[in-house]
Amino acid sequence: MGTIAVVDYGMGNLRSVAKALEHVAPKGARVRITDRADDITGAERVVFPGQGAARDCMRAIDAHGLREPLLEAARTRPFFGMCMGLQVLLAHSEENGGTDCLGLFQGTVRAFPRDLHDGHGRRLKIPHMGWNSVHRTRAHPLWNGIAETACFYFVHGYHAAPEEPDVVAGTTDYGRRFCSVLADANLFACQFHPEKSSRDGLRLLKNFVEWSP
């Protein structure tokens, strides 16, 4: 196996992502944290994590010259987006008063309403933070070996709302049902943090590094 590029645009705890990938990657694989377009273009697999605000994320991507390398990788090679790395794949985000994103998928990243309540009428905190389950809306190789009841770790105040329902591979309930996983061809992206999601998160990453779409 060749190189797994972990995209570094100056936002996010990339060491924890890289360490998790190193733990599950086959022997001979190289995990490289990089902000270089050439490294992303030349990598066999690309992992696109992220934290922070959409506008800052897009500015950093453009400042590093990573817009086209990211889009090319997302269209041609095994590609894994995490948290903000899912959200900016859509066309637009409501965050920061409105931010245009990468536009790989049509749709908008929307803020959670401040008046969300659970099934018992209790008000829910925003951002959505902590463990929650993912309802799989279709089969995917990256779910292999992960129980339907598995929970993953979330930290976010905005959620993806893609226009095309066929790209939704998982949903989560938090006062409302929202898209928590996108998948299309060689791409898989999740709103939660696999590197913080214990055994099931590591299994998801292991499935990714072994995936041949």
Residue 51 and residue 11 in contact, taking contact as beta carbons nearer than 8 Å: yes
DSSP assignment of 77-125 equals: S-EEEETHHHHTTEEEE-GGG-EE---SEEEEEEEPPTT-B-TTSPBPP
Catalytic residues: 83, 193, 195
3-state secondary structure 149-184: CCEEEEEECEEEEECCHHHEEEEEECCCEEEEEEEE
Q: Which of 165, 189, 194, 193 is nearest to 177 (CA)?
A: 165
Q: Identify the sign of the CA torsion 4, 138, 147, 107.
A: positive
Q: Which residues have CB under 8 Å from 124's CB, separation 6+? A: 116, 117, 118, 174, 175
**Cα R_g (the chain), whole angstroms:** 16
- The H-or-E segment that residue 187 falls in is strand 187-190
